Amino acid sequence: MKQLITFIKKEFHHILRDTRSMLVLIGLPIVQLLIFGFAITTEVRNANIAILDNSKDETTQGIITKIESSQYFDIDRSITSNEQIEKAFKSGKIKLAIVFQPNFQNELSHSNKAQLQIIADATDPNQATTLTNYLSSIVRDYQNEINRQNKLPYTINTEMRMLYNPQLKGAYTSVPGVMGMILLLISAMMTSIAIVREKELGTMEILLVSPMQPWLVVISKVIPYFIISLINVATILILSVFVLGLPIEGSLFLLIASTIIYIFCALSLGILISTITETQQAAMLISLLGLMLPVVMLSGYAFPIANMPTLLQILSNLVPAKWYIIIVKNVMIKGIGIDQIWKELLILLAMTGTFLLISVKRFKIRL
Amino acid sequence: MNNEIVIKTDKLTKKFGDFIAANEITFEVFKGEIFGFLGANGAGKTTAMKMLIGISKPSSGNATIAGFNVYKETEKIKKSIGYMSQKFSLYEDLTINENIQLFGGIYGLSDSEIEKRRSELIAKLNLQNEADKLVGSLPLGWKQKLAFSIAIFHTPKIVFLDEPTGGVDPITRRQFWDMIYEASHHGITVFVTTHYMDEAEYCDRVSIMVDGVIKALYSPAELKKQFNANSMDEVFLVLARDAKRGE
């Protein structure tokens, strides 16, 4: 026990004396969370659009007023012809254009049909989809208003409700994602580097010759990073509740308990990496390429897993962050209890066990 | 020197696949002796040493270190020995005091014992003003002396030194050897590998390893007589001339 405490003290000396790493450890999560929570968002506001009104009647004016009064669009009034629209798209001045057919109102009242064309700049498909959706729903709204006056016998109104995230805030996906990424990065990368550093400096040899048990060396490396990860979890949760306005719908205890399991998983992955690498650089590269990329690409945080090719969907099951993000989303945002997430928790535990088992095997081979 | 045997090996062998790194090594080392373990690069010195300090398992043969079996009692061996590797082996981002406390703690010394020995050591090395400075800021010679002092801090029966004076100036090397003599006077057996043939002269007995085999094992004076040589350098050259391995 005394050996362990002496050794943990030493680890904290290492961490605290290395100001740069310290900044990364504590500062990175805050910066990431704020960047992903505020700056990177799928919400669209004040998009520049052009309207080519070939009819200029009461109905088209009504629709235009409605579009104007929404906060999503800014209408560029200088554009008055098809050629100008094309130019404006090419120069990137506008994201979307609306073209009303001539005699819009007449057509509508006589044949009950009128054409309205929406042209979107699909170089950014996500944004184009969002904008056309916004616009369609504005036009649908207007249509419902006139229909009410005309009393048509059959109309189907679709009413959409966005559950759990009514304002479609980006932070709802980014907070679980950042948690999954940061915890994995800090726990796995920093522990693997800390262990490999001893190998590289030759001090590991001294420790192996000493009466200190190898597993004690590893545990005392892991504990400081476990504590730092817990501090990070606290800052991330406090920031997301008080700064980003996210709710914690479910049980805070369950959220923290599953986070601790995830941290264990990441730590054991770090130990595994340390058993297969000999230099700090190699450990860092493996952690960054082997962990960061899959977490960003395959965890369902940046890109929906359901849209991926089957092979990638299968591969994504191997990424611990995927399961953790599901847990966080369910507990934090939907307020679901343990009865719905036990499967994910079990998967994380199984992964942790596997990583540890392989590490122990590899550690013995090395001795 | 007395006749108590602290290291005894019997046909100790280490194979890596077909490659025999250490081939049937047999020797004895006595208590308080300074035992020089010489050999060219790749001769198998480090491999042999790793088997003795319990971090490499022998392929065959037998050995007892401080009375303990290298196969079954590695934990007991680890408590009875000290080790200084050729790579510098202290933590550079810890202070001198912290390094001492860390290694004292690892070897299970009590806090009061650590404190007592620490202040003695600092006074002996004349490091009162540097005790709270980071080890990384010390000159290499001081670091080496400190590393040796820490390797024998827990008063082991045997201390293993793997090329301890690499890159150190002659004066510091002389001081370093004074420390080795002192440890030997206190009954600590010193097992040292080295490249410097003048250092071999300081040893009570030396063994010379060539291609995984111990070619000679006598006192420096006997070796010189036997090979009709003026210095250990010449003895070594005669023996190592036929070596097939090496870099």
Q: How many CA atoms lie within 13 A of A143 on its CB side?
A: 17
Residues A249 and A337 sit within 8 Å (Cβ to Cβ): no
With contacts defined as CB-CB under 8 Å, which chain A residues touch B79?
A: 211
Q: How many residues does chain B have?
A: 247
Banded model confidence at residue B43, pLDDT cuts 50, 70, 90: confident
Q: Is the pLDDT of residue A353 over 90?
A: yes
Structure tokens at A237: 């949760």
DSSP lists the bridge partners of residue B9 as B27, B63
Question: Amino acid identity, residue A156?
Answer: I
Break chain A into its structural domains and give their ranges. 12-40+170-366, 47-150
Global pTM?
0.78
Contact A211 B54 (CB under 8 A): no
Give the percent of chain B with pLDDT over 70: 98
Contact B108 A208 (CB under 8 A): no
Helices assigned H by DSSP within chain A = 2-17, 19-34, 58-69, 82-90, 104-111, 125-150, 171-184, 191-201, 203-209, 214-242, 252-276, 280-287, 293-298, 310-316, 320-328, 338-366
Residues A264 and A352 sit within 8 Å (Cβ to Cβ): yes
Angstrom CA distances, A329 to A249, A292, B8, stand at 10, 20, 64
DSSP lists the bridge partners of residue B216 as B208
pLDDT reported for residue A39: 66
Contact A211 B79 (CB under 8 A): yes
CA distance A171 to chain B (A): 40
Backbone angles phi, psi at A166, to 5 degrees: -60, -30
Q: What is the pLDDT of residues A64-105, one digit of tens each?
A: 888 888 878 888 887 788 888 888 888 888 888 888 888 888
Out of A41-55, A115-129, B45-59, give the one with best mean pLDDT.
Answer: B45-59
Three-state SS for B210? Answer: strand
> Sheet harboring B60-65: ordered strands across?
B19-30, B5-16, B60-65, B68-69
Angstrom CA distances, A319 to A296, A315, A327, stand at 10, 7, 14
Q: Is the pLDDT of residue A258 over 90?
A: yes
> Where does B5-89+156-240 sit in CATH, by number?
3.40.50.300
By a Cβ cutoff of 8 Å, what residues of chain B touch chain A?
53-55, 57, 75, 78-79, 81, 83, 85-94, 98, 101-103, 105-108, 134, 160
Residues A327 and A300 sit within 8 Å (Cβ to Cβ): no
Break chain B into its structural domains and give their ranges. 5-89+156-240
CATH of A47-150, one of 3.40.1710.10, 3.40.50.2300, 3.40.718.10, 1.10.10.60: 3.40.1710.10
